[in-house]
Amino acid sequence: MPSKDAERYYLGQMRALVRAMATDLIASLEPALKRLKPDYIADSRVTLDGSWTDEILKSIRSVSQRFTSPLFEAQIQRVAATTISRADADNAEDFRDSINKAVGIDFQLVTKPKGMTDFLEASTAENVNLIKSIPADYFKKVETIVLGGMKDGLAPTTIAKQIQEETGVSARRAKLIARDQVSQLNSDLTRQRQTAAGIVHYKVQDADDVRVSGNPSGKYPNAKISCWGIARQDIGYGPGVYKVAEGATWKGVTNLHPGKHHPLCRCIGIAMIPGVNYFPDKNG
Ligand SMILES: [Zn+2]
C-alpha cells in the first residue's frame, strides 16, 4: 500500500504552499487594485501599456519571485526528499513483511537494492519539478486574470473572485500530485525490490470495490484501462499474474504495473514465490 505517512506529509506541505501563494498574492494585490480602480475603469478600452499595467505586474511578480527563490528551492527540495524517504521506508518494511509472511521465515532482504539510490534521487528531482510547476502555472494564470479583468474594467472584487477560483484549481492539482506521486513511487519501489529479491512474477490484486476501473458492476465499467480486467485476465501464468519485468498489456497499452495502471490506480502486485504461493503448471 502507498505510504499513508508520506502521502499525509506531502498533502500537508502542498496545501501550505497553495495557501501561502494565495495569501501573499492577495496581500500584495488588493491595495494596488483598489488604488488603481478609478484609473483603469476610466481607462478601459484604451491601451494595455498604461502605467497601471506596469504597477500591477510588478506587484504580482514581486510575489511570484518568492516562489522561485533559492530559499524556496531549498524548501521544496526538502519536501520532496522527505516525502520520498518516508515512502521508501514504509515500502521497505511492507515488502519485507509481505515476503516473510508468505515464506514463514524472517529473512533479511537488502533494503537498498542496486540502483535504488539513483532512482530515489531521480524521483526527488521529478517531484521538485512538479512542485515548482504549481506556483509557476498559478502566477502565469493570475497575470492573465488580472490584466484581462482590468482591461475589461472589472471590479477588484470580481477579479479577486476569479483569483480565488484559480487558487482552487491549484489546490486540486497539488492534491492530485501528492496522491499520485506517492502511489506511483510505491509501485516503482515494490517492483525494484521484487526484482532484487529474484521474484519473477507478481499477481495483480485490485482494490475490490465499486471504484475499481472496469468493474462491470461498479462505477466505471467502461474505463479505458480496466484494473478489474487486468487483475483477472490470464496471459499464461494464471489469472492476474504477470512478469515483474513486463507488466500487463491492456488495449494496446503496454508495461502496465499495479499502482500505475492509470492515475490513482489502487492495485497491488503480490510477489509470487514458486512453491510458496505460486504453483505454475506452465513454464513462466
Ligand atoms: Zn490498477
pLDDT for 142-178, tens place per residue? 999 999 998 888 888 899 899 999 999 999 999 999 9
Q: How many residues would you count in the chain? A: 284
Q: What is the average pLDDT across 101-116?
A: 78
Highest-confidence range of 28-42, 93-107, 206-220, 270-284, by mean pLDDT?
206-220
More confident residue, 280 or 144: 144
| CA 220–ligand 1 middle distance (angstroms) | 13
Rounded percentage of the chain residues whose pLDDT exceeds 90: 71
**What are the residues whose beta carbons fall under 8 Å from the beta carbon of 141, sequence distance 6 or more?**
166, 169
- Per-residue pLDDT at 2: 87
Residue 54 binned pLDDT confidence (cut-offs 50, 70, 90): confident
Q: Which pLDDT score is estimated for 43?
A: 57
| Cα angle for residues 31, 25, 6 (degrees, 5° grid) | 155
How remote is the CA of residue 263 from the centroid of ligand 1, in Å?
9
Ligand 1: centre distance to CA 261 (Å)? 5
Q: Answer yes or no: is pLDDT of 50 > 70.
A: no
Q: Are strands 253-256 and 248-250 parallel, antiparallel or unpaired?
A: antiparallel
Determine the distance separating the centroid of ligand 1 and the alpha carbon of 73, expressed in angstroms. 34
Instruction: Supply the pLDDT for residue 44.
Output: 53
Q: What is the mean pLDDT of residues 5-13?
A: 97
d(CA 176, ligand 1 centre) in Å: 17
Give the alpha-carbon dihedral of 13, 19, 21, 23, to 10 degrees: -150
pLDDT band at 284 (very low <50, low <70, confident <90, very high): very low
Q: How far is the CA of 245 from the centre of ligand 1 (A)?
A: 17
pLDDT at 217 over 90: yes
Q: How confident is the model at residue 42 (pLDDT cuts 50, 70, 90)?
A: low
Contacts of 237 (CB under 8 A, 6+ apart): 201, 243, 280, 282, 284
Query: How far does residue 49's CA lie from ligand 1's centre (Å)?
Result: 52
Match 501550505 to its residue by C-alpha cell.
Answer: 16
- Mind listing the pLDDT tens digit for each residue in 109-138? 667 788 899 999 999 999 999 999 999 999
Question: What pTM does this model have?
Answer: 0.87
The yes-or-no verdict on residue 220 having pLDDT over 90 is: yes
Mean pLDDT over each residue of the chain, to the nearest integer: 91
Q: Quote the pLDDT of residue 129.
A: 97
Q: How far is the CA of 221 from the centre of ligand 1 (A)?
A: 14
How much distance in Å is there from the Cα of 154 to the middle of ligand 1? 46
Indicate left, alpha or beta for 238 from its phi (over 0: left) and psi (-120 to 50: alpha).
left
- What integer is the mean pLDDT of 241-256? 97
Residue 236 Cα to ligand 1 middle (Å): 19
